[in-house]
Every structure is written in structure tokens, then in C-alpha cells.
Structure 1
Amino acid sequence: MTRPRTLLALNWKMNKTPTEAKAWARDLAGEFTRGAAELAVMAPAISLPGLKETLPGGVDVGGQDVSPHESGAYTGEISAGMLRDVNATYVVVGHSERREYHGETDVLVAAKARQAQAHNLTPIVCVGEGLDVRERGEHVTHTLAQLRGSLEGVGENVVVAYEPVWAIGTGKTATAEDAEELAAAIREALRELYGEVAESLRVLYGGSVKPDNIASICAQPNVNGALVGGASLKVADVIGMNDALR
């Protein structure tokens, strides 16, 4: 089966106003040449309409979170239908920051992923371990248990992002071999869940990804791209990562 196209999911987190987002998109459009990787910008929901209008063709947008509910009295939440209405393609669910700061469980993450799929959004389901788990040598077991719980009842239109929590925003990066160890284990779990289609599903690595390390990470057999945090905020870094994957 053909290796899936590399995906760079650019997670801005709580950064950039809508005005700043459009300026970023104009700067990207001025320098961007479509390459081997697919790019998608995971921006704050308020910026998505302006971004989609301004980004160069072939660059997608996505949400950073989604409600598990269809609609109703859920003040402050963003529905999957709302994201689709502004032409989002992806949505991140279960990011480690949501799990840590908002107490999100695997059950809730799975509900969000199912709701996303019901509106033809592709959920990017995040899993990964903290430093204490890795130091105990339990990182594979922990991550796969999280994965299975977060994919309960979730269809095959899914992307999985492995993000070792200890490498997010710390400057510490898992080695390419570390990324491949977990990506291979995740791939095997996806085979158990989805059968042969698992070969075409994308497994991303997230955690201090930069232009100088992205090529070696994405060259691993089971790594199909990256969930990029800090380096996604600067157009020069995004261009550097895009060019590194040509």
C-alpha cells in the first residue's frame, strides 16, 4: 500500500489575533511553494474564516478542539458543524494540554472524535506519556491504552498524533528512533482496530519539531508527519520545514 502523504499540522495554540493570523497567511502565500507535505493550520476558531480566505491554495485549516455535542446550551463551546461551515478539514482532540488543564478523559476524547467524524472532519487524536511514565519504561503500554480508549467507536477516518508530553515546548525532542518506536506500536494497534486500512492512516509526531529535525523524524517508516507547536508561529520556520521534506 502507498505510504500516506506527509502532514504538517501547525498547532498555533492560543496565539495570534485574527488580524495577525491573516498577516501570517499573506506572508506564507508570498513564499510558499507546494511540496511533498500537506499543510494544515490549527488556529483559534475565531481566526479560521479569515485564514481560509487568505492562505495559499492547498493549505487547509482545522480547529484545536470541538464539542462532543451537536448543538445546544453549551456556552463557550464550538461545534463540529460550526467548524465545517468555515471549511475546516481537521480538528485536534485530546491534546495533552486539554487533558492536563481541562481534565479531558479518553471517553470524552473519543466522543469528540466521533462528533467530528459525523460532520466530515478528520480528528487528529493526540496520545502520549509524561516523563515519569517514560522513566518507568511504561511509555508504550500507557500510550496504547490511551489510544484504544480515545478511539472507542471512532471510525477509520482518523489521524493519530503521538506527543511525548515531556518534549512539548521544552526544547527536548524525542529522537527519531523514539518517535518510530511509538509510531510502530501505534500502527500495530491501528491494524488491530481497523485492519489493512491502518497502513494508509497517518501517525504524526509532536514535540519540539523544527526545520533541522523534521526530515529525520518524518523519514521513519511509521511516522507520516508532525503536529508542530512553537515552530508553526513563524513563517520562516514553516517554509523551512516544508522545504526540508521535499
Structure 2
Amino acid sequence: MAARRPLIVGNWKMNGLTASLGEARALAEKAAASRPVAELGLCPPATLVAAMANALKDSAVGADVIKVGGQDCHARASGAHTGDIAAEMLKEAGAAYVIVGHSERRADHGETSEMVRAKAAAAHRAGLIAIVCVGETLAERDAGATLKVVTAQIRGSLPDDATAANTVVAYEPVWAIGTGRTPTTAQVAEVHGEIRKDLLARFDEGAGFRILYGGSVKPDNAAELMAVADVDGALVGGASLKAADFWPIVAAKGLQ
């Protein structure tokens, strides 16, 4: 099994207008100058997916070093689903990834692991890499149920056709997202180790799946978090909105 290539993805959530594309270009310039070993991605709002893909393509070097992703997709390829977006639409717009099962989707929209599994399968159908998110709430952690919850989400959210090439797992402790709180490195290591064990038990190439850490990843804690065993990169929220903040996180894991 070849070494897992680090992956660092920015999730812009519901942030960004056309003027924000300058940050993507600035990040592309930094990456083009340094040629990081890490694979880089940005997931803007759906309104910017095509524009960002085109902006990076027009920058001559950007498309080579940064790929674009969506933040969600519907399980079906088309139909009467007002306000939703199909994986095929994201693919046509220039996306390479799509995030599914983010805790904000699970909590705000009542998404179950069964629904997330269907969305991941849709991503595979469209030729996208599914970034499947899992993670526990503070109440679940305090109850000592973290590993049970995450294992159940892994089993329920990953389709049987998941491979190391078409699927990435992102562990995001819900209580750390946007709060400024982060787990200890020992807590991160425990959960990532359990996820790896689950992947190895279910998939022949379980050792090849990349597992990202997400949850208040910032320039000042990125190096410590990404030095943990089985942390193959990061899914970054607010710190990915500005190239000046995102680049130090990239440098922590992804430079030669």
C-alpha cells in the first residue's frame, strides 16, 4: 500500500461572494510557488463552485494544485427536489469532492447515517470523492459513548462500494466545531485509531483510506493535531476563508 497522501480541505460553509474568489487565487499562488505534497481542496457555497473552478483554471496553475468541492448533494441525480443539488451538477460545475454528513447537516436538517450513505453513493455515481463526516456531541462524549457513536456512523454512512480512491473520512467532534475548543491529541488519536480499525475490518484497502481531523483547526494548533497517528490531513472551517490563515495549516502537514 502506497503512503497516504495528505489532504487538506477548506469548508467555507455559508460564507463567500464573488469577491471571495480572490482568496482562492491567493492560495493557489502560494501553493504553486511551494508545490505542497498535500492535496488541497476548497468547498465554497454552491453558488461559487463553478466560478471558483473557472477562476483556478484561468490562473494557469491553480487547477493543478487546488480542487473544488461541494458542501452537500442530493442522493438522486434529478427530480422534484427544490433547493437541492445533485452530485452530477456539482461534477459538471467543476467539483472533484463533495462533503456529506457534516454535523451541521445531521443536526440542522435531521440527516441520518442512512441518508448520508445514499449521498456518498451518489457522489461515487457522479465520479466525485465523498468526504464523509462523523463525530460525537458533547453529551455523547461526556457519557463515554464517543467510540460507539463514531463506529455506528462509520458503519451506517459508508456505502459498500467505498474505496480509498473515492472516499475520505473526516472526524469532527461536534462540540469542537466553531467553538474554539479542541480535543487533546490523545483523544484525537483514540478516535482516529478506532476509525482505522473499523475501516480495516470492513474494507480490503482499509489502510489506504485517508482520515481527516476537523473541529476548530487553526494555524496555532494545526501542526500538533496533524502530527497524530492516522491523521492524514484536515477539514478546516473558518480558518479556510482567508489564504493567510489557511496556508499555515497547509504548511503544517503538506510541505516537503
The 3-state SS of whatever aligns with 1:160 is strand
Q: 1:183 is matched with which residue?
A: 192
Q: 1:146 is matched with which residue?
A: 153
Deviation of the 1:129 alpha carbon: 0.3
Q: 2:59 is matched with which residue?
A: none
Q: 1:161 is matched with which residue?
A: 170
Unaligned stretches of 5+ residues in structure 1: none
Q: 1:31 is matched with which residue?
A: 30
Amino acid at match of 1:172: R
Q: 1:13 is matched with which residue?
A: 13
Deviation of the 1:176 alpha carbon: 2.0
The 3-state SS of whatever aligns with 1:104 is coil
Q: 1:218 is matched with which residue?
A: 226
The 3-state SS of whatever aligns with 2:130 is strand
Q: Which moved more, 1:60-69 or 1:31-40?
A: 31-40
What are the Cα deviations for residues 15-62 of structure 1, in whole angstroms up to 9, with x where unaligned? 001x12322223223433321211100111110111112231310000
Separation in 2, partners of 1:134, 1:206: 16
Separation in 2, partners of 1:29, 1:107: 36
- TM (norm. structure 2) is 0.91
Amino acid at match of 1:27: A
Separation in 1, partners of 2:154, 2:130: 13
Task: Confirm or deny: 8 A CA contact 1:67 1:78 kept in the other structure.
Answer: yes
Deviation of the 1:67 alpha carbon: 0.4
Task: Confirm or deny: 8 A CA contact 1:21 1:51 kept in the other structure.
Answer: no
Separation in 2, partners of 1:212, 1:3: 26
Deviation of the 1:154 alpha carbon: 4.2
Amino acid at match of 1:162: Y
2:104 pairs with 1:97: yes
Q: 2:53 is matched with which residue?
A: 52
Separation in 2, partners of 1:85, 1:106: 26
Task: Confirm or deny: 8 A CA contact 1:10 1:42 kept in the other structure.
Answer: yes
Amino acid at match of 2:74: S
Q: Which moved more, 1:176-185 or 1:49-58?
A: 49-58
Task: Confirm or deny: 8 A CA contact 2:189 2:229 kept in the other structure.
Answer: yes
Of 57, 82, 85, which residue of structure 2 is paired with 1:78? 85
What are the Cα deviations for residues 130-161 of structure 1, in whole angstroms up to 9, with x where unaligned? 01111111100111011101114342221100
Of 64, 82, 95, which residue of structure 2 is paired with 1:88? 95
Cα RMSD after superposing both structures: 1.3
Task: Confirm or deny: 8 A CA contact 1:140 1:185 kept in the other structure.
Answer: yes
Task: Confirm or deny: 8 A CA contact 2:120 2:159 kept in the other structure.
Answer: no
Amino acid at match of 1:187: R
- TM (norm. structure 1) is 0.95
Separation in 2, partners of 1:164, 1:68: 25
Task: Confirm or deny: 8 A CA contact 1:26 1:54 kept in the other structure.
Answer: yes
2:214 pairs with 1:209: no
The 3-state SS of whatever aligns with 1:244 is helix
Separation in 1, partners of 2:3, 2:188: 17
Of 187, 200, 206, which residue of structure 1 is paired with 2:208? 200
Task: Confirm or deny: 8 A CA contact 2:113 2:156 kept in the other structure.
Answer: yes
The 3-state SS of whatever aligns with 1:143 is helix
Deviation of the 1:120 alpha carbon: 0.9
